[in-house]
Amino acid sequence: MLPINKIYNMDCLEGMKLLDDNSIDCCVTSPPYWNLRDYGTEGQLGLEANFNDYISRLCDIFDEVKRVLKPDGTCFVNLADTYSGSGKGVGSKSKESWKFDIKPKEEKLLPNKCLCCIPDRFKIEMINRRWICRNEIIWHKPNAMPDSATDRFTVDYEKIFFFTKQSKYYFEQQFEPIAESTIKRNEYGWNGNGQGVYAVGRKRQPGSFGNIEKGRNKRATWSINTKPFKEAHFATFPPELIEPCILAGCREGGIVLDPFMGSGTTGLVAKEQNKNYIGFEMNSKYCDIANKRISEHHEQLKIVGD
């Protein structure tokens, strides 16, 4: 087993072979999107000639994730789509984000301008490989950049898939606030479980509206702004996006795996929540950025704590 709280500058498929079976509590990651960018590393994921090869290779990586994940482990994967023939992703943060250093040669399997449906193909293949898909979460981006396309609607979201190995797994329920108007509207007619079972003329008892003190069960559309990151890595998801994933899917003291660590957000959030991490990143420059970012952030936390 590799030492924890480290980012390893190596291919994740090779790196995960060094991890024990059933040793990881949770996986949170965002793989390189298909046909969008050359990250400057030999053998990188995302430059395959067609999306079928990409999906196959990506799911081979998650076969290994499944091996190292504990039986009650969880897995969250952020993945966006691509338009055929464009070399552009949907819901990207800026035009600059998707320029190629070396543009891959795409095999034409679909008409130009057609969505490749990469996230859906990935989800289906994961299910075919016996993963259980528990949620399709929509990351809505309120501050999405304007789109230059004039013949379709602007895409302002990406998807996060929530997978498990088995039907019983670790999950800490997450809550969101209940509007006061909703509480008043439902003062009558709710049973002790917060279910819509009406009892006409019967006023609910204090605390009977589900978990009224905690709020309602968190929903699957999350409106979270994108945030720029000043360092070299351009495809960074905001910490707020994965905080609920790690809170829900990893017990305190557990280990969170990110096979595509990038700028280190997964490791940073894991440590904030008193959890550990293991990351893999093929680009040594990004490893340096991630290690520096996590180290500096937690030095600041120590100062605040003192």
Amino acid sitting at position 35? N
SS3 32: coil
Q: Is 46 left (phi over 0), alpha (psi -120 to 50) or beta?
A: left
pLDDT band at 25 (very low <50, low <70, confident <90, very high): very high
More confident residue, 17 or 214: 17
Give the model's pLDDT for residue 35: 85
Output the CA torsion sign for 60, 69, 27, 162: positive
User: pLDDT at residue 162 above 70?
Assistant: yes
Would you say 145 and 94 are in contact if contact means Cβ atoms under 8 Å apart? yes
User: pLDDT at residue 44 above 80?
Assistant: yes
Q: Return the beta strands (E) in the chain as ranges.
A: 6-8, 24-29, 69-79, 82-83, 88-89, 132-140, 157-164, 175-176, 216-217, 221-223, 255-258, 276-280
pLDDT band at 176 (very low <50, low <70, confident <90, very high): very high
- In order of their start, the domains of the chain are 6-174+218-305 (3.40.50.150), 177-217 (no CATH)
User: pLDDT at residue 239 above 60?
Assistant: yes
pTM: 0.85
